């Protein structure tokens, strides 16, 4: 039996045990056991159950939002308010021990919101359930960083550092560098713009340090050294982040005003229901989802339905949305809308669609 199951069992037994003088000792024992199992789960070295237990949540819906934050900042409170799923909230740390999914329905989109255990400094090294939490964060389209408004700045810095240390890059996009390791020919270095941080020699030195002696490098924007290294390593995750300052009922109006003006930030109070609609709206806009419409030959587009897609989706994504095997029968697509050069444009699977495009898929016969 896994630790989570043992915990669930004890909790069940506690709830069905009547509290009175006669059961006092029994309940005390259950409490002690519960505390021990919870501690085991949070210890990085715990063999049994420490791994990924409770984190294997299927991706579903049009986008995934993962809540990252220190313990007791109000993550579970938000999940319970914004979705139909209940997640226990309480005023002690590590109330949540697993990944709990909920659904936000908004403007026709189905957004998966994940409640996660709190993380603390050292999470990336495995403190608490940090490693598992961060692994889930890496799969998200948006990280909702929940902060306690009264301790926000410090928490924000620490969490950013934790995420940075495992290769997550928040609110930045992949540097515009073409980089390809070759079999021979040495290193060819070119830039299409003026570089103020990088130069040919530096690039050579860094590549040699990574034991790369043959490669093609084409720098298309004024990147920093760190950005260049990110490209060499190639395993970076570029994820959007929305900072949510919760518990604004605890701070002064001046402070609320100041936090609300920070970039990519929302202020709210999940408990007092302050600014919740705006927070959800902001999640939606930050996700930057797009809607396209499909049509059949000779018919009008279905403007009622429409498909919700992630930004930068292609015709191939559209096909997958319509039917899993449609790609196999795909011949070409006709596209009307802003992504088309002329109306309609005949395109292939790699064509990147834009919001409000109308698409007709033509199949092989
Ligand atoms: N004052 C105030 N308290 C809040 C607010 N939102 C949540 N809380 C309280 O903060 C405490 C922690 O809330 P949780 O939702 O359990 O926090 P969490 O981030 O899920 O905590 P862990 O699962 O332990 O990481 C609870 O006592 C909540 O009632 C808020 O907007 N204002
Ligand atoms: K809590
Ligand atoms: Mg929680």
Query: Residue 73 C-alpha to ligand 3 middle, in angstroms?
Result: 8
pLDDT surpassing 90 at residue 19: no
β partners of residue 144: 67, 242
Query: Residue 9 C-alpha to ligand 3 middle, in angstroms?
Result: 20
Domain positions in the chain are 63-84+97-172+237-287, 176-222, 289-363
β partners of residue 246: 148
Both tokens assigned to 357: 């495009």
Domains 63-84+97-172+237-287 and 289-363 share a fold: no
Q: Which CATH class is domain 289-363?
A: alpha beta
Q: Which fold has domain 63-84+97-172+237-287?
A: Rossmann fold (3.40.50)
CB 300 within 8 A of CB 363: no
ipTM of the predicted assembly exceeds 0.85: yes
pLDDT surpassing 50 at residue 97: yes
pLDDT surpassing 90 at residue 260: yes
- Does the C-beta of 69 come closer than 6 Å to ligand 1? yes
- Evaluate the CA torsion angle 278, 354, 310, 233 in order and state its sign: negative
Q: What percent of the chain has pLDDT over 70?
A: 98
CB 186 within 8 A of CB 213: yes
Q: Whose CA is nearest to atom 32 of ligand 1?
A: 247
Taking the C-alpha atoms of 297, 298, 303 and 307 in order, what is their torsion angle to the nearest 10 degrees? 0
Q: pLDDT tens digits for 177-224?
A: 999 999 999 999 999 999 999 889 999 989 998 899 999 999 999 999
Query: Residue 295 C-alpha to ligand 3 middle, in angstroms?
Result: 44
Q: pLDDT tens digits for 85-95?
A: 999 999 999 99
Q: What is the pTM of this model?
A: 0.87
**Which residues surround the ion ligand 2 when the cut-off is CB under 5 Å?**
72, 95
Distance CA 212, CA 203 (A): 11
Parallel, antiparallel, or unpaired: how do β-strands 265-267 and 237-246 relate?
parallel
Distance CA 198, CA 96 (A): 45
- Does the C-beta of 339 come closer than 6 Å to ligand 1? no
User: Residues with Cβ < 8 Å from 356, sequence gap 6 or more?
Assistant: 290, 291, 292, 293, 337, 338
Q: pLDDT tens digits for 262-280?
A: 999 999 999 999 999 999 9
Tell me, what's the pLDDT at 267? 98
Angle at 173 between CA 108 and CA 261, to 5 degrees: 70
Mutation test residue for ligand 1: of 77, 128, 133, 267, the one with most atoms within 8 Å of CB: 77
Both tokens assigned to 319: 């096909």
Taking the C-alpha atoms of 269, 273, 276 and 278 in order, what is their torsion angle to the nearest 10 degrees? -90
pLDDT surpassing 60 at residue 100: yes
Both tokens assigned to 114: 């994940």
């Amino acid at each position: 039996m896994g630790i989570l199951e043992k915990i669930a069992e004890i909790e069940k037994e506690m709830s069905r045990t009547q509290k009175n003088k006669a059961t006092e000792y029994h309940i005390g024992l259950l409490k002690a056991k519960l505390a021990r199992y919870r501690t085991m789960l949070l210890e990085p070295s715990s063999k049994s159950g420490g791994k990924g237990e409770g984190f294997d949540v299927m991706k579903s819906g049009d986008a995934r939002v993962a809540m990252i934050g220190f313990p007791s900042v109000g993550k579970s409170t938000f999940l319970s308010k914004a979705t139909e799923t209940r997640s226990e909230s309480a005023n002690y740390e590590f109330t949540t021990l697993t990944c709990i999914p909920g659904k936000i329905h908004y403007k026709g989109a189905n957004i998966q919101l994940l409640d996660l255990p709190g993380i603390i400094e050292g999470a990336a090294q495995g403190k608490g359930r940090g490693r598992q939490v961060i692994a889930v964060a890496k799969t998200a389209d948006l990280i909702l960083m929940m902060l306690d408004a009264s301790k926000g700045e410090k928490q924000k810095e620490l969490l950013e550092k934790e995420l940075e240390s495992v290769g997550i890059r928040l609110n930045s996009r992949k540097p515009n560098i073409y980089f390809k390791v070759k079999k021979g020919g040495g290193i060819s270095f070119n830039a299409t713009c003026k570089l103020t941080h990088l130069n040919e020699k530096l690039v050579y030195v860094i590549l040699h340090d990574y034991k790369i002696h043959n490669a093609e490098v084409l720098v298309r924007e004024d990147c920093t050294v760190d950005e260049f290294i990110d490209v060499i390593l190639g395993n970076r995750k570029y994820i959007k982040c929305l900072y949510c300052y919760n518990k604004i009922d605890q701070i002064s109006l001046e402070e609320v005003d100041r936090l609300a003006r920070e970039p990519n930030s929302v202020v709210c109070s999940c408990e007092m229901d302050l600014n919740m609609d705006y927070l959800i709206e902001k999640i939606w806009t930050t996700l930057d989802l797009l809607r396209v419409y499909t049509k059949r030959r000779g018919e009008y587009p279905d403007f009622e339905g429409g498909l919700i897609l992630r930004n930068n989706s292609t015709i191939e994504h559209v096909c997958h949305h319509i039917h899993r095997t449609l790609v196999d029968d795909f011949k070409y697509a006709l596209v009307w809308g802003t992504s088309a050069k002329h109306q309609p444009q005949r395109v292939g699977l790699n064509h990147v669609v834009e919001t409000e495009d109308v698409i007709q898929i033509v199949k092989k016969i």
